Structure 1
Amino acid sequence: MEKMKDYPDVLNVEDIISILRIGKSSAYDLVHSGQFHTVKVGRRILIYKDVLLQWLDGQSKKMEEK
């Protein structure tokens, strides 16, 4: 398992799979869900690491509110 600082500043779907420990179809569902900003470059889908971390932080705050 890698630490977040070891990942590049711009992540791809394979990085999301590794970070969140989810399957490929779940990762693609997530990046297509519109829950956070992604950039499509050709066939690649890219996500800024900071955007993913903010999204994760927002998800944990929502769980705390419940």
Structure 2
Amino acid sequence: MLNDYPDILTVEQLAQILGIGINAAYRLVNDGTIGCRRIGKTIRIPKVCVTDYINAARFTAKR
């Protein structure tokens, strides 16, 4: 699924992966839901943080 993406992602790539808007992606990183690093004004997201977020969602989904 994420093999086509680099190990370090941008917020735009995060939005594309999750199929959400850019504002929602910024919300996820700004509130700490998805881990990230700020380098100057840029935000970089390790791909492992995205996979952790996706895997965590499997266990919290209501059936």
Larger helix percent: 1
Cα distance in structure 2, aligned partners of 1:22 and 1:55: 14
TM (norm. structure 2) is: 0.88
2:27 paired residue number = 29
How far has the Cα of 1:36 moved from its partner?
A: 2.8
Q: Which amino acid aligns with 1:54?
A: D
Q: Which amino acid aligns with 1:47?
A: I
Unaligned segments of structure 2, at least 5 residues: none
Q: State the identity as a percent.
A: 32
Alpha carbon RMSD of aligned pairs, Å?
1.3
> Within 5 A, what are the aligned runs for 1:3-22?
3-22=1-20
Cα distance in structure 2, aligned partners of 1:9 and 1:56: 16
Cα distance in structure 2, aligned partners of 1:5 and 1:36: 19
Cα distance in structure 1, aligned partners of 2:23 and 2:48: 23
SS at match of 1:4: coil
2:41 paired residue number = 43
Unaligned segments of structure 1, at least 5 residues: none
TM (norm. structure 1) is: 0.84
**After TM superposition, what 4+ stretches of structure 1 lie above 4 angstroms from structure 2?**
none
How far has the Cα of 1:43 moved from its partner?
A: 1.2
